[in-house]
């Protein structure tokens, strides 16, 4: 599988990366081992985790994903063959209370990093990402930006300084950001250059055929900075496979088990998905493979993070790298994007 070098780093990540947020909730440790074995055999070298995983986050399962990955690396003895990425949580997102007085400051970052290292059973994290911002801004599909005079926030310079200390301590190799805005991304880059601090080498944001908002504000940053995309939710919670159409809720599927995941549902999403299924059928393609290939072939994408709950799903996702992109496919999907503008932000 093709690997892409992350600029300003020595890291090369596979065109497809393995997302692991189901490990410890929808997937058992045995399931996870089988997925990692299959991914590795297919040429994937990039594992993406987070301290808050699995999802949906619960106190009883928090950290289980990293523990499963750590057990796998120890048992297989393949640590050197993987680029291991994880994330530190900020307050104000889908999880809170991991640590007293959560913030993206030095105390919290060191505590979170040490706990992740322990669960992963490794000496150094290859890519340590800030999972979401700690300031008043929009992420996870929010609209209606609100300005507030008083806010809980950690200055980005404080976060970068703490991340630098983690690099100097040998606990992490490189820094990444996630769920960031163009303003936030540029602040990270500007402050890193101004104060000789670690420069972010990647941004992990949502990107799929129902949510192409990355192209509006972030694509130019990704290209010019450069700050390549590690695209998450390329299948829009699995909705782009078509399995949820007409109100279907397959047994064991994410939207069946967890009603909280509504970001990629609704009339606008349904209309966009129907047209995508028509396009896939016209080209004789699997809808899932079409959706993944679109994300993979964007010039600003370094790795497309795939996730699955079964080996069959994972095999189908892996096969998307074999899909040869064409001008006709590009034209069809650009026309789709003009018809269905941002059905799911």
Active-site amino acid positions: 53
* CA distances (Å), origin 128, targets 48, 54, 293: 10, 17, 26
List Cβ neighbours of 78 (8 Å cut-off, separation of 6 or more). 40
| Contact yes or no for 56/25 (Cβ under 8 A) | yes
Phi-psi region of 280 (alpha: psi -120 to 50; beta: other; left: phi over 0): alpha
Structure tokens at 202: 């990647």
**Which of 58, 129, 62 lies closest to 90, judged by CA?**
129
**Which of 236, 129, 143, 144 lies closest to 180, judged by CA?**
129
**Which of 174, 124, 210, 166 lies closest to 8, judged by CA?**
174
How far apart are alpha carbons 305 and 230 in whole angstroms? Answer: 7
Structure tokens at 104: 């993206």
Cα angle 185, 156, 83; round to 5 = 60
How far apart are alpha carbons 163 and 277 in whole angstroms? Answer: 44
| Contact yes or no for 168/198 (Cβ under 8 A) | no
Q: b vs e for 209-247, b when ≥16 Cβ sit within 10 Å of the residue's Cβ?
A: bbbbbbeeebbebbeebebbbbbbbbbbbbbbbbbbeee
Give the chain's end-to-end CA distance (angstroms, integer): 31
């Amino acid at each position: 599988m093709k690997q892409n070098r992350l600029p300003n780093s020595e890291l090369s990540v596979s065109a497809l990366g393995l997302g692991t947020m189901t490990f410890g909730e929808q997937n058992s440790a045995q399931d996870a081992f089988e997925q990692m074995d299959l991914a590795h055999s297919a040429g994937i070298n990039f594992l993406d985790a987070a301290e808050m995983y699995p999802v949906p986050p619960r106190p009883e399962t928090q950290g289980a994903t990293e523990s499963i990955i750590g057990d796998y690396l120890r048992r297989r003895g393949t640590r050197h063959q993987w680029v291991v990425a994880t994330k530190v949580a900020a307050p104000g997102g889908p999880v809170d209370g991991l640590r007293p007085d959560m913030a993206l400051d030095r105390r919290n970052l060191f505590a979170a990093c040490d706990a992740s290292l322990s669960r992963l059973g490794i000496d150094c994290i290859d890519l340590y990402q800030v999972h979401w911002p700690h300031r008043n801004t929009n992420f996870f599909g929010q609209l209606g930006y609100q300005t507030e005079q008083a806010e809980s926030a950690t200055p980005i310079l404080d976060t970068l300084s703490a991340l630098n200390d983690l690099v100097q301590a040998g606990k992490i190799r490189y820094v990444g950001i996630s769920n960031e805005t163009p303003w936030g991304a540029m602040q990270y880059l500007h402050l890193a250059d101004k104060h000789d601090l670690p420069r972010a080498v990647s941004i992990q944001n949502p990107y799929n055929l129902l949510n192409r908002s990355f192209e509006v504000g972030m694509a130019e940053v990704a290209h010019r900075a450069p700050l390549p995309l590690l695209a998450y939710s390329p299948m829009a919670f699995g909705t782009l496979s078509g399995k949820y159409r007409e109100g279907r809720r397959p047994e064991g599927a994410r939207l069946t088990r967890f009603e909280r995941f509504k970001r990629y549902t609704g009339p606008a999403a349904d209309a966009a998905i129907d047209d995508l299924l028509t396009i896939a059928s016209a080209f004789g393609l699997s809808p899932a493979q079409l959706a993944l290939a679109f994300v993979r072939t964007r010039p600003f994408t370094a790795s497309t993070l795939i996730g699955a709950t079964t080996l069959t799903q994972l095999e189908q996702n892996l096969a998307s790298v074999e899909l040869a992109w064409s001008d006709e496919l590009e034209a069809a999907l650009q026309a789709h994007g003009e018809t269905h503008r941002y059905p799911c932000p």
